Amino acid sequence: MSYNLLKGKKGIIFGALDENSIAWKTAERVFEEGGKFVLTNAPIAMRMGQINALAEKTESEIIPADATSIEDLENLIEKATEILGGKLDFVLHSIGMSVNVRKNRHYTDENYDFTQKGWDVSALSFHKVCQTLYKKDAMNEWGSIVALTYMAAQRTFPDYNDMADNKAYLESVARSFGYFFGKDKKVRVNTISQSPTPTTAGQGVKGFGGFISYAEKMSPLGNASALDCADYTVSLFSDLTRKVTMQNLFHDGGFSNTGVSNEVIEKFSE
Binding site residue list: 15, 21-22, 95, 167
Integer Cα distance of 27 and 41 in angstroms:
13
Integer Cα distance of 270 and 268 in angstroms:
5
Options 160, 179, 214, 232, the catalytic residue: 160
Element (H, E) at 249: strand 248-251
Parallel, antiparallel, or unpaired: how do β-strands 88-93 and 10-14 relate? parallel
Options 112, 134, 150, 179, the catalytic residue: 150
Backbone angles phi, psi at 14, to 5 degrees: -95, 140
Is 150 noted as a catalytic residue in this protein? Answer: yes
**How is the beta sheet containing 61-62 ordered, strand by strand?**
61-62, 36-40, 10-14, 88-93, 139-149, 188-194, 248-251
CA dihedral 108, 111, 113, 119 (to 10 degrees): -40
Which amino acid, residue 225? S
Is 179 noted as a catalytic residue in this protein? Answer: no
Binding-site annotation: residue ranges for NAD(+): 15, 21-22, 95, 167
Task: Indicate which residues carry an active-site annotation.
Answer: 150, 160
